[in-house]
Amino acid sequence: MTSTTVRNRHDDALETDDEFRARLRTFLTGNHPGRRPKDPSERLAWRKAWLATLFDAGYAGPSWPREYGGMELSFARQVIYQEEYAKARVPGPLGTGLGIAAPTLIKYGTTEQKERFLRPMLRGDTVWAQGYSEPEAGSDLPALRTTARREGDEYVVNGQKVWNSAADLADIIFTLVRTGTRESRQQGITYLLIDAHAPGVTVRPLRDLTGDAHFCEIFFNDVRVPVSHRIGEENGGWPLVRTSLGHERAAGTMNQAAMYRRVLDELIELAHERRATADPLVRDRLADFEVRVRIMRYTGMRTISDIMAKGEPGPASSTSRLFTVTFEQDLHEFAVEMLGSHGVLGRHDPHAVQRGRWVWGFLRTRASTIGAGTAEIQRNTIAEQLLGLPRDPAMPPMVRSQ
């Protein structure tokens, strides 16, 4: 463990990390797209325009290979990129393609598929949305029932997907479908890219407990998908799930830590304003959150250090998601309590504190321990994959990996 600043071996000799940071910051602030439009379609156009600006100037895809328009940055620079991007408060990527589908395409796609799909995705010209979960296949994804029947050089897809974010904006839905028998579980799953505008695709917003629709349901009714839109082999889709580009998860941890650092600072400021910090019970809780938000950051740093030194993250990186979701639930619940009766006003009330963000966060973070694998499934996975505890003999083999 040394105390000097890390100099990464992949650095471009012509520019120091600080110079890179400065250049990036200048670009992001200089080209900031301004206030977010209220009208949804204007907002979509505004976001697409920003992503195109970013791409055209060579500032998109920090981890992506240059051949697909990315920056192919060293890991240390990716971290700098994420930090500056978060600070600049510019719009993020559209849809969920970049984090999930792109790594899969890069790793498993044909040359033709990569050429065709990657650049438009990165530039924001096509928006991608995930279609994995189904009403009967949540934690148990291998139980999915959406079928794809081969007819010549097409698949005919039928079924329903749920909990799809950005599906209402999507041009392409990347999805898992069943091509094997109903009992085939992981062995009968195929990875397909489905044109969201194709006949038979219906996307419906799904109102969640916050009252908003952050997710959609997708219905496929005899949707015809060319075989060329299959990634990997037929019945070979399962291993493609959750491919990630090496270091991106660690950078994501740092991102989350930075975001919650800001959120906690705002909560502490609010506590001061409302003179709540005079209460030792409040102080003790806030200090506990301070401990945890800092640990979140240190774990991110430790993961990065491990990756750089050993090429792979240690066990801490696998527990950090559970650490974070517990933190965010606890934080919002405490915030609501701290605000007392004002805390339980809805966000449309003029008396609501900070437009009800805390109570909204309390509601929203109910999903933290449910989405993308419940906290229970995460604990199972940690126990089995990291600690090597034996499988439950009554579970089907090969549970979804994290």
Partner 1 sequence: MTLTFTEEQEELRASLRRFLTDKSPSEAVRRWMEAEEGHDPALWRQMAEQLGLQGIALPEEYGGAGGGPVELGIVLEEMGRALLPSPFFATVALAGQALAASGDDAAKSRWLPGIAAGSLTATVAIAEESGSWRLEDVAATATTAPGGGWTVSGTKMFVIDGHTAGLLLVVARTGAGPGLFAVESDAAGMTRTRLDALDPTRRLGRIDLDGTPAVRVGPDGGADAAPAFLREALDLAVVALAAEQVGGAQACLDTAVEYAKIRVQFDRPIGSFQAIKHKCADMLLAVEAARSATYHAASVAAEGSAELPVAAALAGAYCSEACTHAAKENIQIHGGIGYTWEHDAHLYLKRAKSSEQLFGAPAAHRARLADLVGI
Residue identified by tokens 């408060």 is 89
User: Residue 325: which of partner 1, its own copies, none does it interact with, CB under 5 to 8 A by kind?
Assistant: none
DSSP letters spanning 92-143: --SBSIIIIIHHHHHHH--HHHHHHHHHHHHHTSS-EEEE--BTTBSS-GGG
Quote the strand ranges of 152-188, DSSP E. 154-164, 172-178
Residue from 39, 112, 183, 284 that binds its own copies (CB under 8 A)?
A: 284
Per-residue contact flags (x/-) with partner 1 for residues 2 to 41, judged by CB under 8 A = xx-xx-----------------------------------
DSSP letters spanning 249-284: HHHHHHHHHHHHHHHHHHHHHHHHHTTGGGSHHHHH
For residues 328-360, b (16+ Cβ closer than 10 Å) or e, as one string? Answer: bbebbbbbbebbeebbeeebeeeebbeebbbbb
Per-residue contact flags (x/-) with partner 1 for residues 190 to 229, judged by CB under 8 A = ----------------xxxx-x------------------
Question: What is the C-alpha to C-alpha distance for residues 71 and 59, in angstroms, rounded to an integer?
Answer: 7
**Residue 387 within binding range of partner 1, rule CB under 8 A:** yes
* 112 vs 284, beta carbon nearer its own copies: 284
For 306, the enclosing helix (H) or strand (E) is helix 280-310
Please list every residue from 355 through 394 that binds its own copies, using CB under 8 A.
392-394
Longest Cα–Cα distance of the chain, Å, equals: 72
The secondary structure of residue 352, as a DSSP letter, is S
Which residues lie closer than 8 Å to 124 by C-beta, 6 or more apart?
Answer: 47, 48, 50, 51, 52, 55, 93, 94
Strand 172-178 relative to strand 128-131, pairing = parallel
Per-residue contact flags (x/-) with partner 1 for residues 345 to 374, judged by CB under 8 A = xxxxx-xx------x--xx--xx-xxx--x
**Residue 378 within binding range of partner 1, rule CB under 8 A:** yes
**In Å, how far from its chain's centre is CA 24?**
23
Q: Which of 184, 237, 243 is nearest to 402 (CA)?
A: 243
Residue from 67, 265, 279, 312 that binds its own copies (CB under 8 A)?
A: 279
Q: How far is the CB of 280 from partner 1 (least distance, A)?
A: 8
* 312 vs 376, beta carbon nearer its own copies: 376
Residue from 79, 162, 172, 270 that binds partner 1 (CB under 8 A)?
A: 162
Which residues lie closer than 8 Å to 314 by C-beta, 6 or more apart?
Answer: 302, 303, 306
Please list every residue from 139 through 158 that binds partner 1, using CB under 8 A.
139-140, 143
Please list every residue from 99 through 138 that binds partner 1, using CB under 8 A.
133, 135-136, 138
Q: How far is the CB of 391 from partner 1 (least distance, A)?
A: 6
User: Residue 40: which of its own copies, partner 1, none does it interact with, CB under 5 to 8 A by kind?
Assistant: none
CB 186 within 8 A of CB 398: yes
* 94 vs 129, beta carbon nearer partner 1: 129
Strand 147-151 relative to strand 189-195, pairing = unpaired
* 198 vs 291, beta carbon nearer partner 1: 291
**Residue 275 within binding range of partner 1, rule CB under 8 A:** no
Please list every residue from 155 through 194 that binds its own copies, using CB under 8 A.
none
**Residue 280 within binding range of its own copies, rule CB under 8 A:** yes
With CB under 8 A as the rule, give the number of residues binding its own copies.
7
* 42 vs 349, beta carbon nearer partner 1: 349
Q: Which of 402, 323, 395, 336 is nearest to 364 (CA)?
A: 336
**Residue 398 within binding range of its own copies, rule CB under 8 A:** no
Q: How far is the CB of 392 from its own copies (least distance, A)?
A: 6
Question: What is the C-alpha to C-alpha distance for residues 310 and 189, in angstroms, rounded to an integer?
Answer: 34
* 191 vs 362, beta carbon nearer partner 1: 362
Q: How far is the CB of 181 from partner 1 (least distance, A)?
A: 15
Stretch that binds partner 1, among 28-36, 58-66, 103-111, 311-319 (CB under 8 A): 311-319
Task: List residues with catalytic annotation.
Answer: 248
Phi/psi at 221 (nearest 5 deg)?
-125, 100
Residue from 316, 330, 354, 402 that binds partner 1 (CB under 8 A)?
A: 316
User: Residue 362: which of its own copies, partner 1, none does it interact with, CB under 5 to 8 A by kind?
Assistant: partner 1
> By the criterion CB under 8 A, which residues form the site for its own copies?
279-281, 284, 392-394
